[in-house]
Amino acid sequence: MTSRAGDVRSSTHGLSLFLVFMFTLQLMAPVVSASGMQSCGGGDDCDAYDHNEDLTPNVQDWVEGTYTFDLVSTSSIDLELTWAVREFDRDSIGLGSGTIVGDTLESADGLDANDGAPADLIRQTFDQNIGGTTVGEKLKTEVHSAIQDALESGFGTVTSLSTQYVNAFTSGATTIACSTDDATDSFAEGAAVDNAFEPPLCFTATASVDLAAANFNLAGTENLDLERTYRGLLTMGAEVNTSFNLTVQPGHTADFVINPASYASMVAVDGPEAELVPRGGHNSASWSMDHLGALETDSDQVETVDLRMGHRNTSSSPTVHIEEGSKAIDLNLVVDLTDEYAATIDFAAGLYYLDSATLERWGINMFEVSSSATIPVITSDGVRLAYHNGIVDLTQFTDQFPVGDIVEGLGNTIAGVGDITMSDLQWVSQTDGTGIFEAEGGLNYSHSTGCTEPVAAGQVLHYCLQGPNAMDETYPIYLQTTSQPFSMRFIDIIMAQGDENSTLNSFLENVQSTDLERLMNAGFSLEALIGESFLNSVDLSGLPPADLTVEIVLPNWVTTVDGTSTIVLTKSLEASSSLDLSLTGLDPYDWEHEITNDDGRVVCYANQSTCVESDVNFDLSKVNFNEWSASISVTMALEAELSIYRIGFVDGERCYNGEDIEACGQMEAFPSDLLRLVIDLSSRMDDPLGTTVELPWCAEEDLKEHFDDCDDLELEATRQGMKDLAKRMGEVVTDGVHGLGQLAENEADSPFGVMDLSKFEIRTSIDGIEAPDGVVSDDEPIVLSLTIPEVEFTLGTESGWEELSGDPEDIQLSLVTSSIQSVFHRPVQMAAEVLTKGLRGSLIGSDGLSYPPTNEETITLSTGPVDTTMPTEYGDVDSPIDGAAYSGPITFTLPRGVKLVDVSSSAGNVVLTEDGGRQTVTYVVPPGEFSDDLSFRIQVGWLYFLIQFWVYPAIVLLLLVMLVRRRRAKKKRKKNAMANRQAAINKAQLGDHEFADLVGFSSPGLRHGETIEDMANIDELSR
């Protein structure tokens, strides 16, 4: 039994093992037979699905994508997209729940609701028709739709899109193979890996997208050319922020690359894993986004990214670069003083560029959102761009431009100008670079040179995008305005530079334009350098670096030394230029001409800058030899005239250096009319020009007592003042001569015992100082006259010939004016001696006494070379007068009975005339250098001797006449006395008292009333 039991137990145990094996075998059998997914139809067509290999466990999609955007222009962008699909949403391709494949995936292959269709399954069902469309087509359609949605949500309107399967996928530097072939995709079929997600199915899509202008933050009119505007702004150095959205679906990863347009480069980028990628001369932008770990409930991952785009700097189109501090604005003001009482100011501002600080201060922005872009400068081409595209209101420029402040500052610089009313600023359409406009330009300027941008037929390039001058400041735009006419005298401008209390300004206040015209035409030129303060009142601080040019068009009566009619002043932000002023008349006086007198004789040659003619008339009316008193008496008179036509200067330049001014006046010659003009102008002043001069002989106190007039000479530059000065000059000189005579008489070693000059007188006057006419010349001289009235000088010893017999050193001379000594001593002997000597020397002829005798040669004098030019140096003192020469007639009127005979002059300079029976000898001194040979005889006629000695016989005769008359008168008186006495005797009767008086006397009878003295006188007469 035991053995049976043991056998039974053994049999039971073996059955149990068999059943277990069978169940195990049943369990193992399906695994071995179904190594791929059941949804693929069993077998080895698909690799087994492994959840661990699914990198998107929470979502059905597993897609890796690359997006490369090429920014063609501001209106278009091209996209090249590549997707590597490893898992895709089952429902979208017809393999979701409720389908045979879908149910099999969930029941047999173990997929859950978050698992999509793996790549192997999609390939296996690629050609399976579901609802009339294959799975492959449905996948392609879904990819196409997803790409379009992503582009339109982030960029713009998709205009074209094509999607195709490809056999490779590249991400960065890695390229993987892709396949749609279901015969080689599983491990059993020879694939490299046993993975249902590998290899992926890949797509490529190319798309074109129209971009919205809002992406570039530019708003303009319907004329906006966005592409050219954007390109122009970048060329000027603008950097524009462009914002857009990047979208990644759950289960997707994406690499985005944006390549800029051919004229641009990426400057900065932000966003997820943002990076600037160098591309050889420019930068691209890249981002990476990973949404593989998205949860079931997650939506698309959307990232707003910004990129900053700038200009691509090339040799053909360089980015605008402006040196710091270079001229941004050129301000030109033309002050037209052609008509000083209707002056105008033309103002033109040439805008080359405006910097960012000025744009911000003026509130000018070319972008709709200022924070979306930066622009360092707006060039003149940029303003034209803004104008022609309507992206900025140009009144923003005109309203902010400080033209009023500039003109007001100019008015403050120039005195005498009231309010200046300017018209509204106007934009200048086009300029040719002439006149007030410094260069070609204008708001509608059309580029022709320096621009290589292709031009379509009929297109006008108001701004340039390509070439060396692309969008730069070469051709400015201009604003212009003109003032209403106002009054501004050129004299006011000159006065504004001086001290308002100065003598010059007081003088100029009375000067009219016609006066200044004559002054400038008198040969006067002025050169002045006025310092930088001249335009300091013009404030340019509110502008970018600006140059101010003020051009003053001179009145029609004045010009500059170089012959132009304008004065140009400049001022920059850093400094003002000096005012370089040079002025002269339009028809300036020219001294280089001959001056002739009424007889046609040349007074001055053309090379003599100084022309002064003298006319001296010396009247020697009497020369008396007082032989008995050892004296000589000379009666003379002098009339001299100095005719001043012009005065030249050795150095005609006079300069003044002040705190902020250097001025030099130049005048080579001073014409007579100019002095008349100065006197006329000074006469109009409330306080005429004048000065005082101290008399030199009154400077010392010990000498003043010898002079009666020691008041200073007062010069007042008026006509009456000049006449008074001339008159007083004669009086002062006369007083000086008298006083100096006294001093000479009182000197211990003086040879003069008596020097009486009290009758000597000098009279001076001036003529020809009337107001001049409109033409300044030297035709009419100013005449200074000096007259010495007839006066007699007697020069002799104090006590006659007796003094000559002693020591000659003790001789005391006597000089007395207007005194005739009547001393008669040896007159007959003198006459006899002269007659005897004359006969012995054969000097005497029928006409009188001649010397040399007529039988001998005449007296000959040779002047040799004579230069009448006055010296320019007197000791240590330099004369300021150039070319002064003594010229003119010198006339001697000889005493009656004395004359020159046989007179000859090799130069023909001697003129002999008769005046009232007296010979007049005139020698005309020519100007400049000359030589002359003179010959003559001196003839003293009998008339002269008669005049000299008539007094002696006249005295004898007078004495004889007086003696005869005396005797006859005496006899007559005696006869009358005797007759009277006889009558008295006959009538004599005595009274008692009379008789008593005669008691004791014995005398002849006396008539009644007669005294003894009377009777004695009668007796005397009777003898």
**pLDDT for 345-398, tens place per residue?**
888 888 999 888 888 888 877 665 445 778 888 999 999 998 888 888 888 888
Lookup: tokens for 216: 């570039």
Most confident of the ranges 125-139, 393-407, 619-633, 939-953 = 125-139
Residue type, 936: F
Compare 511 and 586 and report the one with higher pLDDT.
586
Identify which has the larger pLDDT, 816 or 840.
Answer: 816
DSSP 407: H
What pLDDT does residue 83 have?
93
Sheet strands (E) in 111-224: 117-118, 129-130, 133-134, 156-166, 168-171, 174-177, 201-211
Average pLDDT over residues 928-948: 74
**Residue 717 pLDDT exceeds 50:** yes
pLDDT at 958 over 90: no
Highest mean pLDDT (candidates 31-45, 249-263, 862-876): 249-263
Q: Is the pLDDT of residue 252 over 80?
A: yes
- Total count of residues recorded for the chain: 1023
Q: Three-class SS of residue 318?
A: coil
Phi-psi region of 216 (alpha: psi -120 to 50; beta: other; left: phi over 0): alpha
DSSP-derived letter for residue 197 is T
In the chain, the amino acid numbered 506 is S
1000: left (phi over 0), alpha (psi -120 to 50) or beta: left
Alpha carbons 655 and 975: distance in angstroms, whole number? 98
Q: Which of 756, 703, 766, 677 shows the shortest CA–CA distance to 730?
A: 766
Given a cut of 50, whether residue 971 has pLDDT beyond it is yes
CB atoms within 10 A of CB 765: 15
Q: Which residue has the higher pLDDT, 1001 or 329?
A: 329
* pLDDT computed for residue 573 by the predictor: 62
The pLDDT > 70 percentage for the chain reads 75
What average pLDDT score do residues 904-925 get? 84
Tell me the mean pLDDT in the region 663-669: 80
The CA distance from 513 to 523, in Å, is: 16
Whether residue 888 contacts residue 616, with contact meaning beta carbons closer than 8 Å, is answered with yes
2, 56, 464, 655, 688 from 691: Cα distances, Å: 176, 113, 71, 21, 10
Whole-number Å distance between alpha carbons of 670 and 677 = 11
**H or E element at residue 391:** none
Three-state DSSP state, 368: coil
CA–CA distance from 414 to each of 293, 391, 408 (Å)?
81, 41, 10
Nearest Cα residue to 793 out of 813, 757, 821, 817: 817
Q: Which one is predicted more confidently, 753 or 82?
A: 82
Question: By percentage, how much of the chain surpasses pLDDT 90?
Answer: 12
The distance from CA 700 to its chain's CA centroid, rounded to whole angstroms, is 52
In angstroms, the CA 180 to CA 125 distance is 10
Higher-scoring residue by pLDDT: 953, 278:
278
Q: At what angle do helices 827-840 and 942-949 cross, to 10 degrees?
A: 160
pLDDT (0 to 100) of residue 812: 43
Q: Which of 95-104, 501-510, 775-784 has the lowest mean pLDDT?
A: 501-510
Q: In the predicted model, is pLDDT for residue 286 greater than 50?
A: yes
852-904 confidence digits (pLDDT tens): 887 778 888 888 888 777 766 655 555 667 667 777 788 888 887 788 888 88
- pLDDT for position 444: 94
> What are 68's two structure tokens?
């490369």
pLDDT digits (tens, 9 = 90+) for 414-436: 655 567 788 888 899 999 888 88
Q: How many CA atoms lie within 13 A of 232 on its CB side?
A: 31
Q: Closest by alpha carbon to 562, among 527, 593, 522?
A: 527
Q: Which residue has the higher pLDDT, 952 or 907?
A: 907
The answer to whether the CB of 311 falls within 8 A of the CB of 230 is: no
Classify burial at 463, counting beta carbons within 10 Å of its beta carbon; exposed 0-12, middle 13-18, buried 19 or more.
buried
How much is the pLDDT for 204?
93
Give the whole-angstrom CA distance, residue 868 versus residue 872. Answer: 12
Residue 598 pLDDT more than 60? Answer: yes
pLDDT tens per residue, range 314-356: 888 899 998 888 888 888 888 888 888 888 888 888 899 988 8
Query: How far is the C-alpha of 621 from the C-alpha of 792, rounded, in Å?
Result: 10
Q: For 15-24, what is each residue's pLDDT tens digit? A: 333 333 333 3
Query: Count of alpha carbons within 13 Å of 875, Cβ hemisphere only?
Result: 1
* Cross-strand bridge partners of residue 905: 934
Pairing of strands 752-756, 813-817: parallel
Q: pLDDT band at 643, cuts 50/70/90?
A: confident
- Do the Cβ atoms of 100 and 121 come closer than 8 Å? no
Arithmetic mean of pLDDT, 695-714: 77
CA distance readout (Å), 45 to 112, 124, 127, 151, 982: 21, 7, 14, 37, 218
For residue 785, the cross-strand partners are 641, 765
Highest mean pLDDT among 9-18, 91-100, 842-851: 91-100
- Which residues have a Cβ under 8 Å from the Cβ of 452 and sit 6 or more positions away? 316, 466, 467
Beta carbons within 8 Å of 643's beta carbon, 6+ residues apart: 612, 613, 614, 615, 781, 782, 783, 888
Residues 6+ apart with CB under 8 A from 14: none
Q: What is the pTM of this model?
A: 0.62
Q: Are 482 and 391 in contact (CB under 8 A)?
A: no
Is residue 6 pLDDT above 70, yes or no? no
Q: What is the rounded average pLDDT of the residues 769-778?
A: 83
d(CA 527, CA 672): 23
Asked which of 254-258, 725-729, 804-808 is least confident by mean pLDDT, the reply is: 804-808
Q: What is the pLDDT averaged over residues 119-142?
A: 88
Structure letter (DSSP) for residue 982 = H
Q: Which of 835 and 511 is assigned the larger pLDDT? A: 511
Q: How many CB atoms are located within 10 Å of the residue 276 CB?
A: 16
Q: Which of 174, 331, 199 is nearest to 255 (CA)?
A: 174
Burial class for 59, CB neighbours closer than 10 Å (0-12, 13-18, 19+) = buried
Kindly list the distances between the CA atom of residue 441 and the CA atoms of 323, 334, 348, 445, 759, in Å, as whole numbers in the listed order: 21, 19, 12, 5, 87
- At residue 251 the predicted structure's pLDDT band, cuts being 50, 70 and 90, is very high
Distance CA 17, CA 11 (A): 10
Mean pLDDT, the chain, rounded, equals 77
More confident residue, 462 or 707: 462
Most confident residue range from 81-95, 634-648, 821-835: 81-95
Whole-angstrom distance, CA of residue 916 vs CA of residue 939: 18
* Structure confidence at residue 558 as a pLDDT band (50, 70, 90): confident
Amino acid at 668: E
Q: How far apart are CA 192 and CA 176, in angstroms?
A: 12
Give the residue carrying structure tokens 């001797």. 945
By C-alpha distance, which of 678, 624, 997 is closest to 792?
624
Average pLDDT over residues 655-674: 78
Whether the bond into 808 is cis, omega within 30 of 0: no
**Among the ranges given (8-22, 118-132, 765-779), the one the predictor scored with the smallest mean pLDDT:** 8-22
**pLDDT recorded at residue 221:** 61
Q: How confident is the model at residue 445 (pLDDT cuts 50, 70, 90)?
A: very high
Residue 78's pLDDT band (cuts 50, 70, 90): very high
Q: What is the pLDDT of residue 887?
A: 78
**Kind and range of the H or E run holding 709:** none
Cα torsion 667, 671, 672, 678: sign:
negative
Q: Residue 281: pLDDT band by 50, 70, 90 thresholds?
A: confident
